[in-house]
Copies of this chain bind each other. A is one copy, B any other.
Amino acid sequence: MQGLEVEEVLDVSPWRKWIAVQARIPGKEGKAVVLLEKKPFDVEDVKRMLAPNAGAEYKLDFQNAEYCVYNLQVPPALNAIKCDTIFPATDQQINKYRKDEIHVLWETVDIYKNVVLPFVEENERGRRIQWVHNILDGSAEQERIIYHNNDPRDGFVLLPDLKWDQTNVSNLYCLAIVNRKDLVCLRSLNDENLDLLQNIYHQGCGAILEKYGVTPDKLIVHIHYLPTFWHLHVHFLHVDLALSAGVTSKAHNLRDCIENIRLLPSYYQVKEMEVRLLEKSLLWKAWTEAKDAEAATQLQDGP
């Protein structure tokens, strides 16, 4: 490849040092998506770039007593950039990387019952979770399973998340998926599920200690709400990963969930909850249509 012409910035993350752009390749038909990400520091490269006579240039930006800030320019080979390209890219692929508006919303019990649950039953249940059933039914990924409690009511399967390459335990990411197919999410849980939740915490932590040598005081264990797929599952992350990247406000600590249900068995049926929705999600559409309908009804009824 010789170069590209940037047409549109799709998204950018200053924190992660990442950018997505739509571009054209001169002389070729079709659009390209280009994803640039600065690479993490490699210790040997750092030694080489800082070494005297490495060809690095230090330009002083700021000085105060013992503190200096330099703009450091180093030889290109020591500071390469990861460059993913999709070419030719479809409009769908381009849209996938275009930043979407996110909304932080407050889900009342009525909204869950009248909007979210019907949406899940209609659009999500049984679809997009075939891979989960394949794992539970024994037809896929059996060699990846770390632990399986076969109890149909209080059992679960534990396996490494596909995002984790299993090489570095400080990036540990495992997933527990419950055997029962009727628990759709955090909202489904009550005191009948306490044994299940405790099994997941204790047996899951035990299996991770045995397999990877990571102790429970290094694990952040949580349930997402809203979840990405609607079959109850629990995330196990190494605290280093959780601190740097993996935990957001949609994470509900598993031991908190157990405590909440102990204190009030119907906690997750009566509590209002914060949720975050992307505008391009189908649930956002259902949610706003219901809000519009509600507003229209209220107008008809009069104040």
Residue numbers of A with Cβ under 8 A of B are: 1-6, 9, 12-19, 21, 23, 26, 34, 36, 38-41, 43, 46-47, 49-54, 56-58, 66-77, 79-89, 102-106, 216-220, 222, 239-240, 242-245, 247-249, 251, 253, 255-256, 259-260, 263-264, 267, 270-274, 276
A17 to B222, CA, bound (A): 26
Q: How far is the CB of A237 from chain B (nearest CB, A)?
A: 9
**The residue from B12, B217, B248 contacting A243, defined by CB atoms under 8 A apart:** B248
* Ranked 7 nearest A-B pairs via Cβ: A3-B52, A14-B40, A73-B76, A38-B38, A72-B83, A15-B244, A19-B41
Q: Do residues A104 and B239 form an inter-chain contact, with CB atoms below 8 A? A: yes
Residues of B within 8 A of A253 (CB): 249, 274
Complex contact B67–A40 (CB within 8 A): no
- What's the nearest-Cβ distance from chain B to residue A208, in Å? 13
A91 CB to closest chain B CB (Å) equals 14
Given A17-B41, A218-B104, A245-B15: A66 in contact with B87 (beta carbons within 8 A): yes
Tell me the bound Cα distance from A271 to B80 in angstroms. Answer: 49
Q: Do A87 and B104 touch across chains, with their CB atoms under 8 A apart?
A: no
A84-B71 in contact (CB<8A): no
Q: Are A271 and B276 in contact (CB under 8 A)?
A: no
Given contacts A74-B81, A104-B239, contact A12 B41 (CB under 8 A): yes
CA of A259 to CA of B3 in the docked complex: distance in angstroms? 55
Bound: A75/B260 CA distance, A: 56
Q: Kindly state the separation between the CA atoms of A219 and B249 in the bound complex, as whole angstroms.
A: 11
A270 touches B263 (CB 8 A): yes
Assuming the contacts A18-B41, A248-B247, asked whether A85 and B103 have C-beta atoms less than 8 A apart, the reply is no
B-chain residues with CB within 8 Å of residue A75 when the two chains form the complex: 76
- Docked pose: A264 CA to B271 CA in angstroms: 11
Q: Which residues of the other chain, B, contact A102 by a CB distance below 8 angstroms?
A: 218, 239-240, 243
Q: Which of B220, B249, B270 contacts A220 (CB 8 A)?
A: B249
Q: How far is the CB of A32 from chain B (nearest CB, A)?
A: 9
Chain B residues near A270: list those with CB within 8 A: 263
B239 touches A276 (CB 8 A): yes
A-B contact list, 30 entries, CB within 8 Å: A1-B70, A3-B50, A6-B43, A12-B41, A12-B43, A13-B244, A15-B16, A17-B17, A17-B39, A21-B46, A21-B50, A36-B46, A38-B38, A38-B79, A66-B89, A68-B87, A69-B83, A70-B85, A72-B82, A72-B83, A73-B77, A73-B80, A76-B79, A104-B218, A104-B220, A249-B253, A256-B271, A259-B271, A259-B272, A263-B270
